[in-house]
Amino acid sequence: MNILLLGYGKLGKIIGEIAESRGHRITGKINLENRQDLDQINPEDVDAIIEFSQPESAFENIFWGLKRGIPVVSGTTGWLDQRAEVEKMTIESEGAFFYASNFSIGVNILFKVNAFLAKLMNETTEYNIAIEEIHHTEKKDAPSGTAITLAEGIIENLDSKDSWNLSGQSPDSEQTIPITSKRIDPAPGTHIIKYSSDIDTIELIHTAHSRKGFALGAVLVAEWIKEKKGVFSMDDFLSF
């Protein structure tokens, strides 16, 4: 299939390499430096878009593809205040849009375990909850989309929590989950969910050793979404 890459940083380059290794053709590699070349792309020569750009570019990139009837797979975080508009456009245009805060299979297993543990924690009030995430210094948004997804998974399943905040930006409360964001090179991504009490500590940890897991997941989703219509997530893609 023919794949257009919108966003060609470190992760975009790995996505391109994996896509080509699986027999796909990259029809364009667009980033901020050559954004003007996007309008020279022939939509009929694109089967799917993989969009890993910047928060300020994501909305425009996604709309560009949807308006031209091209399925869009996006992993960019930091723009989700406009997500409802994208999903509305997808439905109205009978297009296809897939968003995930993280395309790693391992991280998506972590999401499931995180939600299950939060549900179990309704049986006790002894634990304080905190989330920590570590990424490379080029990641602009904080907290990460993955950390936010983890916090939302806790909030949905643990009655005592109703919100999250970025540590240091607003006062903590008993109902709030604090998220600490660190930017340290060359870390591709570590996420820690910690339940602490006077008796013991329970931790869920996922550490990415490279960006390959994220990149492969995005390519697999692009292969999967090619003939589909609608708004999708990793829950639709994965069978667990």
Length of the chain: 240
Written as six digits, the tokens of 105 are 């299979």
Could you tell me the pLDDT band of residue 139, with boundaries at 50, 70 and 90? confident
pLDDT score for 186: 85
pLDDT tens, position by position, 12-70: 999 999 999 999 999 999 998 898 999 899 999 999 999 999 999 999 999 999 999 99
The yes-or-no answer to whether 2-103+212-237 and 105-207 have a common fold is no
pLDDT score for 178: 95
What are the strands, taking DSSP E only, across the chain? 2-6, 25-30, 48-51, 72-74, 96-99, 128-135, 163-166, 176-183, 190-196, 201-207, 230-232
CATH architecture of 105-207: 2-Layer Sandwich (3.30)
* CATH for the 2-103+212-237 domain, from 3.40.50.720, 3.30.360.10, 3.10.20.30, 3.40.50.300: 3.40.50.720
pLDDT score for 211: 87
Task: Compare 145 and 206 and report the one with higher pLDDT.
Answer: 206
Degrees to nearest 5, angle at CA 151 with 149 and 157:
105
Sorted by where each begins, the domain ranges of the chain are 2-103+212-237, 105-207
Give the integer Cα–Cα distance in Å for 137 and 207: 16
**Which residues are known to be catalytic?**
135, 139
**DSSP symbols for 124-193:** ----EEEEEEEE-TT--SSS-HHHHHHHHHHHHH-TT--EEEETTTS---TTEEEEEEEE-TT---EEEE
pLDDT tens, position by position, 72-111: 999 998 899 999 999 999 999 999 999 998 899 899 999 9
